[in-house]
Amino acid sequence: MPDDLDLYIRAVVVAQTLTTKKLTLVTVDPYKTSQSEHIGCSHIPVGKPIRTAQQYDVARCSACNKFINTHTLAAQHIALRCKKYLQPIP
């Protein structure tokens, strides 16, 4: 992901123009989101991806042993972090 906040601001303006909906840009700390708990893990306690140099983008879960796409996992955790800033749609 690019670090330039201006790029995201412009993307929101474009999306707002195309959808005619009011959008809000929410920034969250993405630290360790790709190494966080496996969302959808079938085991308790929930596992985390075991990343290696050979398995950086896709890694096995420490609990259920399933392969996890670490980029998708990061996006899911970022979305969860954003939820506390979002207002429910009336």
What does the alpha-carbon distance between residue 73 and residue 59 come to, in Å, rounded to a whole number? 11
Q: Compare residues 7 and 50 and give the one whose CB is closer to Zn ion.
A: 50
| CA atoms within 13 A of residue 74's CA, in its CB half-sphere | 16
What does the alpha-carbon distance between residue 58 and residue 85 come to, in Å, rounded to a whole number? 29
63: which 2 tokens? Answer: 């609990």
Question: What minimum distance in Å lies between the beta carbon of 15 and Zn ion?
Answer: 33
Mask of contacts with Zn ion, 30-69, x by CB under 5 A?
--------x--x-----x-------------x-xx-----
Any contact of residue 74 with Zn ion (CB under 5 A)? Answer: no
The residues that touch Zn ion, with contacts defined as CB under 5 A, are 38, 41, 47, 61, 63-64
